Amino acid sequence: MIDLKFSDDKRIFSLHNKGIPYLSVDLLDRLGVPNLYTTRYISFDEERGEGVKGLRLAVMKTEDPEEAGPLVKANRDILARQLGSSIEFECITDQKHTNHVHVASAEDLGPWIASNKPLHRQFVDGVVTDIPGVLLTAFGGDCPPVYLADPVRKAIGLVHAGWRGTFGRIPEVAIAHMVVKFGCEPENIYAAVGPGICRDCYEMGDEVYEQFASEWGQSDADRIFSRYPAFQIDGTEIKGGKYHLDLREANRLTLLRAGIPEDHIAISNICTKCNADTFYSYRARRMENEQVAMLVNRFGGGL
């Protein structure tokens, strides 16, 4: 079994190890909605307790898209097929740390990479759809994905929620699109916040706290930020310490205030930085590549 460190005793994921290993959200599994979140592993031998790392799913900024693109698309297609889908039905996000959400159309589907997406798909950090069979894909290191699924209207959404997207309440933006475009009702939507950096690891500048306090209000800012001891490189203590942001709690608040019932929400307890040997992590300076979150618009279970 892949060794994972959890921040508490709640286990919201199942670990799958047939083909490329991945985690899936139990809440979404029970709805019958295929979903996943990847690791560094290309494969893992449970009997030997070891695996092959180096899974490549994204074209990084330093790479030539023409050279790297075929491999990353082939790997994503393997994962898509493990979910019963195909990269031909994929719609990806752009990862520019916005709160912009795109409503997918049939013309958007296919094995795009960041360098060749059409103009209307650029600067998009979330996608929603009610097209049957569509595969939504989001990339990330420490920024958690937020999965959305409405079994009544058979619509889904997937967003990339770093601190800027979280500040812009991107899950709420996606839910609003689902309500307006597909007739969804928030009380019917299920949501999961996937793996990402934990509060203990997520140090922020005072200016970020001040932005949240100004936009979200002092009470909410004090709820999602904590002051931790901090030190200069030479070991000198920084007076008053540094703020740390709890992305999990911030996105949970956004989901609740958008009308999602509390028992329809699952929150990850896996930190990508605490588990940097298993996941790619920007804050751990271990971003050789990125994880992907995937969600297929297919419902087959019940709660």
The pLDDT tens digits for 42-92 are 999 988 989 999 999 999 988 888 888 899 999 999 999 999 999 999 999
Per-residue model confidence (pLDDT) at position 94: 83
pLDDT band at 114 (very low <50, low <70, confident <90, very high): low
CATH topology of domain 13-202+246-296: CNF1/YfiH-like putative cysteine hydrolases (3.60.140)
Q: What is the mean pLDDT of the chain?
A: 94
With vertex at residue 47, the alpha carbon angle to CA 46 and CA 49, rounded to the nearest 5 degrees, is 60
Return the SS3 of 277: coil
| Angle of helix 247-257 versus helix 170-182 axis, rounded to 10 | 30
Chain mean position to CA 106:
23
pTM of the model: 0.96
Q: Is the pLDDT of residue 115 over 60?
A: no
